[in-house]
Amino acid sequence: MCTFLLIICALAAVAYTFHDIVVKGKRCRSHANLHGKTVIVTGSNTGIGKTSAIDLAKRGARVILACRSKQRGEAALEEVKRVTGSDQVVFMQLDLGSLKSVRNFAETFLKTERRLDILINNAGVYMQGRTEDGFGMMFGVNHLGHFLLTNLLLERLKECGPSRVVNVSSSAHNAGKINFDCLNTHKALGVGTSTRDALQMYCDSKLCNVLFTHELAKRLHGTKVSCYALHPGAISTELQRNAGSILQVVLTSASIFFFKNAEQGCQTTLHCALQEDLEHLSGRYFSNCTVREVYAKAKDDAAAKKLWELSERMCGLA
Ligand SMILES: NC(=O)c1ccc[n+]([C@@H]2O[C@H](COP(=O)([O-])OP(=O)(O)OC[C@H]3O[C@@H](n4cnc5c(N)ncnc54)[C@H](OP(=O)(O)O)[C@@H]3O)[C@@H](O)[C@H]2O)c1
Ligand SMILES: *[C@@H]1O[C@H](CO)[C@@H](O)[C@H](O)[C@H]1NC(C)=O
Ligand SMILES: *[C@@H]1O[C@H](CO)[C@@H](O)[C@H](O)[C@H]1NC(C)=O
């Protein structure tokens, strides 16, 4: 009986330690003060976008909540203001699934704001279907919308350097691949509709994020803008809301023990946005607040360049 209790206690201790050290992960150590700096966080009405915005506002930054729903965005605005006591928080409507909305957002932002010091491309969807412009939803929102947004804001970032672009990707990119033929013919990373196809397209869209960071860093060489891609960890958020019911049950049960909460989940984003002396790692990929090596396919110069040029044509930049 006593041995049994001992085993239970030991197991609990191991589980607790595992959760405390491994699941929670490292924290951002920067004490950066952001008074006078302006930050945009896309998809900041919930999940790790919202917790990132809260941390940045507490540090004194002027924070632009760039969200697609006016109602959800304004609710988040009230909450962020209330918990941080900051009056430097603004909501601006941005639907990354509409190139027109991205252009409108950039125009409004450039007209009404003077600075841009940090751009956090955080919004992401796991959802089937098409965007307003007929692109595959995950390619269109997770990659193309952010591609256009980043390009439209690049001049302002350069003027305000040292400045940073932070792209929230995912370790899911490891399973990604990019089928350029499919992109050219179907404006999507894939055409299937099964759960497996959808998961694959999510991974593919996240590989696009990492490749873009790679290409962007090269194009920014010699400027005072640096950029980073990252995996935030496995976090309980609303991301799985459009997944099938079986996947939802699996994710929800796993999340109780194995997932970070949204406050723990934004630490690597904050690290990439704030940590001092990170510039020599521009273009690299981070996880658990640490730089990581990626597979060859995620730093493939030719694929990154090809994707950049195709994306330029797709959003009318070239
Ligand atoms: N959770 C994880 O375990 C995990 C793991 C790896 C990577 N990530 C990445 O982390 C990022 C944040 O995800 P999360 O977990 O915090 O998910 P979340 O709770 O679902 O939040 C996603 C945010 O993106 C916004 N968004 C979706 N489509 C948009 C569009 N068309 N235009 C503008 N905003 C849009 C959502 O707005 P609405 O509320 O209006 O839909 C929401 O604010 C994503 O890029 C995701 O891929 C998450
Ligand atoms: C994150 O880093 C900490 C400290 O180095 C380590 O103890 C922990 O296991 C890591 N967690 C993950 C998920 O890699
Ligand atoms: C972020 O991703 C967007 C689109 O995927 C791209 O335009 C931008 O160059 C990337 N920058 C980074 C840091 O990836």
Task: Check if the beta carbon of residue 99 is closer than 8 Å to that of residue 148.
Answer: yes
Domain assignment present for residue 72? The answer is: yes
* Residue 184 Cα to chain centre, angstroms: 25
Predicted pLDDT at 10? 65
Give catalytic status of residue 202 as yes or no.
yes
Task: State the DSSP string of 14-45.
Answer: HHHHIIIIIIT----------TT-EEEEET-S
Domain range for 45 is 30-235+262-315
Tell me the per-residue pLDDT of 200-210, one tens digit each, with 9 for 90 and over.
999 999 999 98
**What's the pLDDT tens digit per position in 298-309?**
999 999 999 999
CA 44–ligand 1 middle distance (angstroms): 8
What's the total number of domains in the chain?
Answer: 1
**Cα–Cα distance, 42 to 39 (Å, whole number):** 10
The answer to the question of residue 22 being in a domain is no
285 Cβ closer than 6 Å to some ligand 3 atom: no
CB–CB of 117/88 below 8 Å?
A: no
pLDDT value at residue 4: 67
Establish if 123 belongs to a structural domain: yes
CATH number (domain holding residue 95): 3.40.50.720
Is position 252 within any domain? Answer: no
CA of 314 to the centre of ligand 3 (A): 15
In a domain, 151, yes or no: yes
Residue 24 lies in a domain: no
Name which residue sits closest to atom 14 of ligand 3, judged by CA: 213
Q: Please report which confidence band the pLDDT of residue 62 belongs to, taking 50, 70 and 90 as the band edges.
A: very high
Burial string for 221-249 (b: 16+ CB within 10 Å, else e) reads: eeeebbbbbbbbbbbbbebbeebeeeeee
Ligand nearest to the CA of 132: 1
Model confidence pLDDT, tens digit, residues 144-196: 999 999 999 999 999 999 999 999 998 889 899 999 999 999 999 999 999 89
Q: Which one is catalytic: 126, 202, 228, 285? A: 202
pTM value is 0.92
Judge whether 227 lies within some domain.
Answer: yes
> With a 6 A CB cut-off, is 303 part of the ligand 3 pocket?
no
In a domain, 251, yes or no: no
